[in-house]
């Protein structure tokens, strides 16, 4: 149903890191200095601006809310890198003083990290000033350009030469945190609110910019003008085309590749030192060092291998040995799904993450924390206790309770800064009567006849706006047939939308501000025709965040989502049962042959139905499908593992949802076997199941 996305933005990070390695190894220097000059001083100069652009893009996607988090992350990475290269600095007799820490980067490639620490607050400030910010960033770039590729010209101008000498005395390449990075952070941010560009014109723009930059570099170097060569007049044009091309073919995120790229960037100088040391020890300096292409070809895979090794050591999280069954949560998939949903919504429509029912069984706290780091500032829960749990976990932003809240709890709502739903007129009056200011959203009944004030009772809605202690901050409704496939279902959804839009118009016509408006849930996004082309202030995806659909029915606008949750259990025991023998409660299973039965430590108290085996349920053992047999018990179930080439052993892992080797069981398939939808299946997974959070 879903195609695998191509995370082009993240994959190019790795290529950019390899280009940085090329700058420091000169792969073609032994064969053609001119070709090496083009590779390392022209083509490879896209690497650092690209790092800045992709950061700016994702920061702007989150309305720059993640700037502080990225700054702290960069600071931590810089501190670790300083310690990592301290032995080399001491060996080389280069003491690490305060000037080196602040202005020089302590090692020749680390300048980017303190430069980014300087550039992030500058870019954040400039981003909020419109054209003035662009003018300042452009001016800074031109000043930096004069001290870089155009130094031979700009340095001769009165006053500028002295200015550049002061800059060079104070700063090494870290000066690019002032002159280069702010512009490219803004350039990346400029793509966030725009429609995804077309690939072909972006390709031509990139090639034209690269060609112009090549001619520019050739002319400058022929005339002996550059002092450095990290900045060109045509570099912004080249990067605009390149980023547009990558964005046009991008289909998600790959956090593992992203981390690998960062580690390759950080680690490759150590790998250069290791290769040179090995060459000296083995007497192979001519091959491993003096042959620049071989040198590059050894350093790159060594850097990548070391990056993977470090990730495997730091990213592996193990469950306690006594955990019998657990949920595995893939936060990288959650982030990718969030980005895809934002792309599917209009730029003016915010994402309100529905994390009720423990985030549909995925763990509300780790899910909400991850979404908060991605810039999500609107959350929805089902009840007061769920909202309080998020606040206790330091989840900020607005948290809307979608269900009914006891009016007597108004002081608790205020204390935890939660927003309540007004379920009907009497509920709104009772909330106001508590005498405590309460933030609320009004639920409007447009035809589902669940919670809400009937849309036709516009006077009642207006009365609620006037109640003394209600702070109406939003108005919403819910589409009850947007997941249907029939024409009648779609027609009713469009009717609900029309009713909601007319209600909002009447309220505005009475001088009332409805605040944040929201109507679409997950299937309103997948079937956008249901909302008849109308755009609201927010959309409320729940299930889609977690990478699954309710069922396998077709939708109008499928998204390449990745499932976030896997469900696994231990094999508790393995039995040999002779033909004709029964097993389980009521001996509901009778072996028709000599059978190998695996007992899994998971049962209906964990959320699976008692009749799962009778409904055709299967699990994955050794990557192969094995049928569930007999009646599911409260704490165990039986699986027929007879056809496995190798019998399972106690303590091994079985997969009930997710991937094991070549086999995959999607939640949609399991839900069908359980006779329900994924919403119910996932949200009833028992709290006694362990939770393993993966972030690679």
Active site residues: 356, 585
Residue 518 backbone dihedrals phi, psi, to 5 degrees: -155, 140
The token duo for 638 is: 């039986």
> 319: which DSSP letter?
-
Evaluate the CA torsion angle 132, 136, 138, 139 in order and state its sign: positive
Residues 6+ apart with CB under 8 A from 626: 598, 618, 619, 620, 639, 640, 641, 643, 644
Which residues fall within 8 angstroms of residue 163, CB to CB, at 6 or more apart? none
Give CA 144 to chain center in angstroms.
34
Q: What's the rounded Cα separation, in Å, for the pair 452 and 458?
A: 12
**Which has the closest alpha carbon to 509: 458, 445, 455, 474?**
458
In whole angstroms, give the CA distance from residue 275 to residue 299: 7
DSSP string, 154-219: HTTSTTHHHHHHHHHHH-SGGGHHHHTHHHHHHHHHHTTTSPPPPHHHHHHHHHHHHHHHHHHHHH
- Report yes or no: 182 and 137 within 8 Å, Cβ to Cβ: yes
Task: Identify the residue whose tokens are 């700063």.
Answer: 171
Of 41, 29, 178, nearest to 111 by C-alpha is 178
Contact indicator for 628, 604 with CB cutoff of 8 Å? no
């Amino acid at each position: 149903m879903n195609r695998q996305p191509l995370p082009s933005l993240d994959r190019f990070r790795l290529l950019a890191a390899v280009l940085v390695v090329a700058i420091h190894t000169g792969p073609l220097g032994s064969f053609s200095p001119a070709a090496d000059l083009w590779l390392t001083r022209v083509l490879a100069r896209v690497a650092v601006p690209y790092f800045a652009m992709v950061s700016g893009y994702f920061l702007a996607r989150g309305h720059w809310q993640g700037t502080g988090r990225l700054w702290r992350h960069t600071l931590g990475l810089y501190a670790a890198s300083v310690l990592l290269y301290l032995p080399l600095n001491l060996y080389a007799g280069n003491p690490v003083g305060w000037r080196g820490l602040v202005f020089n980067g302590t090692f020749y490639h680390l300048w980017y990290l303190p430069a980014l620490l300087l550039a992030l607050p500058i870019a954040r400030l400039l981003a909020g000033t419109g054209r003035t910010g662009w003018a300042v960033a452009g001016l800074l770039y031109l000043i930096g350009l004069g001290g870089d590729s155009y130094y031979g010209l700009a340095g001769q101008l009165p006053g500028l030469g002295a200015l550049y000498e002061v800059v060079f005395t104070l700063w090494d390449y870290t000066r690019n945190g002032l002159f280069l990075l702010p512009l490219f952070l803004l350039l990346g941010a400029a793509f966030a609110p725009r429609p995804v560009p077309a690939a072909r014109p972006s390709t031509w723009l990139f090639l034209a910019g690269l060609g112009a930059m090549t001619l520019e570099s050739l002319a400058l170097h022929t005339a002996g003008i550059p002092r450095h060569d990290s900045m060109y007049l045509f570099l912004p044009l080249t990067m605009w085309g390149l980023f547009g091309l990558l964005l046009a073919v991008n289909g998600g995120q790959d956090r593992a590749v992203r981390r690998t790229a960062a580690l390759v960037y950080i680690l490759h100088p150590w790998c250069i030192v290791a290769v040179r040391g090995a060459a000296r020890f083995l007497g192979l300096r001519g091959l491993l060092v003096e042959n620049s292409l071989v040198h590059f070809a050894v350093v790159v895979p060594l850097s990548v291998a070391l990056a993977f090794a470090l990730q495997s050591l730091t990213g592996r999280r193990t469950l306690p040995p006594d955990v019998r069954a657990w949920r595995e949560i893939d936060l990288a998939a959650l982030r990718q799904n969030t980005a895809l949903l934002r792309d599917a919504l209009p730029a003016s429509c915010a994402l309100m993450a529905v994390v009720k029912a423990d985030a549909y069984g995925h763990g509300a706290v780790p899910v909400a924390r991850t979404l908060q780091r991605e810039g999500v500032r609107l959350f929805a829960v089902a009840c007061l206790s769920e909202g309080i749990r998020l606040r206790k976990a330091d989840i900020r932003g607005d948290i809307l309770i979608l269900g009914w809240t006891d009016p007597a709890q108004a002081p608790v709502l205020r204390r935890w800064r939660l927003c309540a739903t007004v379920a009907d007129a009497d509920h709104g009056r009772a909330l106001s009567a508590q005498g405590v200011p309460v933030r609320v959203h009004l639920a409007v009944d447009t035809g589902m006849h669940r919670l809400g004030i009937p849309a036709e009772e516009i006077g009642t809605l207006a009365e609620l706006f006037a109640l003394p202690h209600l702070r109406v901050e939003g108005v919403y409704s819910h589409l009850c047939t947007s997941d249907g496939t029939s024409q009648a279902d779609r027609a009713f959804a469009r009717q609900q939308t029309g009713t909601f839009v007319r209600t909002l118009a009447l309220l505005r016509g009475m001088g009332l501000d409805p605040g944040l408006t929201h109507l679409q849930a997950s299937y309103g996004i997948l079937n956008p025709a249901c909302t008849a082309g109308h755009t609201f202030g927010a959309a409320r995806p729940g299930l889609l965040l977690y990478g699954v659909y309710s069922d396998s029915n077709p939708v109008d606008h499928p998204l390449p989502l990745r499932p976030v949750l896997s469900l696994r259990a231990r094999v508790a025991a393995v039995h040999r049962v002779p033909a004709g023998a029964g097993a389980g409660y009521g001996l509901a299973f009778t072996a028709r042959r000599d059978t190998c039965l695996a007992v899994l430590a998971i049962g209906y108290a964990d959320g699976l139905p008692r009749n799962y085996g009778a409904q055709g349920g299967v699990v994955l053992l050794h990557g192969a499908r094995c049928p569930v047999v007999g009646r599911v018990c409260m704490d165990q179930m039986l699986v027929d593992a007879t056809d496995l080439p190798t019998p399972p052993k106690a303590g091994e892992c079985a997969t009930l949802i997710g991937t094991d080797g070549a086999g995959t069981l999607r939640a949609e398939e399991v839900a069908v076997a359980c006779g329900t939808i994924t919403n119910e299946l996932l949200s009833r997974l028992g709290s006694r199941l362990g939770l393993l959070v993966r972030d690679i």
